[in-house]
Structure 1
């Protein structure tokens, strides 16, 4: 039997003093804790039982802590890695692995307490109601990839850890943020901010507020999104679109848990859970100067990867059914899928993810004759004939606005929803892309 009458901790580190201190602190929190001073000793310990938390150093006498993570995944317990030499390379590797947290020595007592609190909450829930996780928030799907996401959301939600959501455009990062908030027990509101949809010169005022007269047009005092989210959760979507100078300001807010309004000089204390999201690889964004390394470490106390739709198997049909019912309700209809409705999209990779699926279902709904809905056949880029070269063909006399719309949407699809890369390819700003998408409405949501 893996579980005892109290939660368990394994500390893997060749520093005996660190192991002794960590296990002692855990025992004060009613944890059953033990240590391992090498990779081999950790392997033996994890073969014997499952732990509720594994804290592993990256530098061990007989290998790297990452080796242990790759071998056991989450099968023997959630793993948090700790290192005395943080780097972009190790942080990037941690993002790609099933690591619940990335910690830097000397380990802050508050961070360690938060880890233990999180593990204890999960243990309590599992011990009383089993380890089965089905559904979370407004997500639809029961694939292994999503069940893993649901488990991570439930584990991190009751803690105070900042969360960084990483995933392609359309994978449900805002749904994940809302689920984290709803399960957190926080009484304040959920406030979502798209950092790429606000003009850079106005973003500071929107986020942190401003005092009356602080700039032309500031005719009254304004509480920013952080203060509006007091007691609740703020989602900073498209975090890599935030200007570097403003990222430095954000870092200070996260460190001090207080905000100074633009044009003001007094600090306003904050009690706000911060969730950030990006559709870019964190290591690429840091290398390109779009995300400060120190901000990544602060935001990424818990990194959650959202899987693309192509890795979710049967979830596609489940989501499609839910979308069809939504359109039935919206239009007062009673349509259903034809028996061969999905035959033309069986092997399609859905580069636009759930948003592209929604557009496909909506289009099929509108074009369907009678009450039977069939999705139009879709082809992946590698098998799309002339489309492999990324070409679009328009007949002479086509409306310019329609050509512009198709070019923008297809370019976004080509770059898997990455608006920054699409904007660069088209020679326009990210703000311009958002303006066009807002005009196109739901059917062009990409």
Structure 2
């Protein structure tokens, strides 16, 4: 048993073809033809060799000869250890009524007689590939995976927004794929420049201006030379500003000016630098809540949200979780040169979990299962790795899966206020928010019937 080709390394899965035929010349030429049409072919020349491919996650097209050295090809379909099969085609040089009758009773889609013409074989490859795209949920040129109504709506919106120069604001829970959506906007926009991503919450506030807009030599201690910021680095392309609500308010004012003027001034400089950059911003907060809390300026919100697109959580995407899991497994198999596959019942396991960490949690679970599997089959244990803490003391807060963000914020606010003897200023400083945010949250709690001093 041997593979005719090395494992594929492409990011997107290719349809797989298993050719079981003792005519080596036919098998090799069929493999070459299929490869030229985007397939990943594997060859076996007997029933025994074909069983060596049981570890493949899926066989999208099985090309099966009838007369093999160790039996009839149809017998292979009774094997309980076969991988998941897509399209099954019998290809024989010796057709008979008996074998045709047996084929009718099996899950066989085509019964073809050698020799096959190129047009005939191409048609077979195209028919077999059609379900592959549905299985993977690949839609359009976005590069995103998902076939649920929510994802189809999102991808249609991305494709609508991308060709323009309009700004895009992406919101959604952590791990829903906001950067992937931003890259889709860039890819579909046709802009020739680079895609540059920056997390506004991961850079110290006093350094963020320099990182974004650049600085001149001598503008501050350590500025030994001119530095072009992310805006200039993304010239002609797309700048992705993640966690925009974490940007300090004063810097939001300058960002708004840059977006409206189409030019910037480096820190410590006086020269106006023209910019040609498409801006896509993102936040894992509810933008309207961020506006109410003062974390996001209203004028900046309207400037960023020419298109405001909300990414759906994985728990609302139905079978998309399984599609994504298969794609992740394919990437891992390609990277490590393996042929691992999911164990039976994995669909039910994935569907039963709510994936509070969304796609990021799913990727972590698949990778963990892949790397720890002793054999070819992998089993996912969602939520197996979670921080374990003791019961909450007076200065601790415990959260549980299923709590809403509002409940988490409420519990943290009340516990912090109690810790600081109801001192709003100290509580705001500890939580990293403004005193106005504390007052706004307390007012909402009172409106909902909570007693807060």
* TM-score under structure 1 length normalisation: 0.57
The residue number in structure 2 matching 1:197 is: 202
Residue 223 of structure 2 corresponds to residue 222 of structure 1: no
8 Å contact 2:169–2:307 — kept in the other structure?
Answer: yes
- Separation of aligned partners in 2, 1:218 and 1:422: 43
Deviations 1:244-277 (A, max 9, x none): 0000010100110100000001111111111100
- Separation of aligned partners in 2, 1:354 and 1:219: 42
CA spacing shift, 1:206–1:135, aligned 2, 3 Å: same
Deviations 1:4-43 (A, max 9, x none): xxxxxxxxxxxxxxxxxxxxxxxxxxxxxxxxxxxxxxxx
Deviations 1:148-204 (A, max 9, x none): 111111111111111101111111111111111111111111111110111110000
Q: CA deviation at 1:136?
A: 4.0
Residue 280 of structure 2 corresponds to residue 275 of structure 1: yes
Q: CA deviation at 1:217?
A: 0.3
- Separation of aligned partners in 1, 2:403 and 2:333: 31
8 Å contact 1:352–1:413 — kept in the other structure?
Answer: no
SS at structure 2 position matched to 1:346: helix
Deviations 1:211-247 (A, max 9, x none): 0000000000011100111111100000001000000
Residue 142 of structure 2 corresponds to residue 137 of structure 1: yes
Q: CA deviation at 1:428?
A: 7.8
Structure 1: tracts of 5 or more residues without a match: 1-132, 380-386, 395-406, 431-446
The count of residues paired between Structure 1 and Structure 2 equals 277
- Separation of aligned partners in 2, 1:419 and 1:171: 19
The residue number in structure 1 matching 2:299 is: 294
Please, which of 184, 191, 213 is the counterpart of residue 186 of structure 1?
191
Q: CA deviation at 1:321?
A: 0.4
8 Å contact 2:318–2:351 — kept in the other structure?
Answer: no
The residue number in structure 1 matching 2:102 is: none
SS at structure 1 position matched to 2:346: coil
SS at structure 2 position matched to 1:271: coil
The residue number in structure 2 matching 1:172 is: 177
For the aligned residue pairs, the C-alpha RMSD in angstroms reads 3.3
- Separation of aligned partners in 2, 1:184 and 1:172: 18
8 Å contact 2:365–2:382 — kept in the other structure?
Answer: no
Q: CA deviation at 1:325?
A: 1.3
CA spacing shift, 1:315–1:422, aligned 2, 3 Å: farther
The residue number in structure 2 matching 1:376 is: 381
Question: Where has structure 1 moved over 6 Å in runs of 4 or more?
Answer: 407-416, 418-430
Deviations 1:101-139 (A, max 9, x none): xxxxxxxxxxxxxxxxxxxxxxxxxxxxxxxx9244331
- Separation of aligned partners in 1, 2:412 and 2:256: 27
8 Å contact 1:412–1:422 — kept in the other structure?
Answer: no
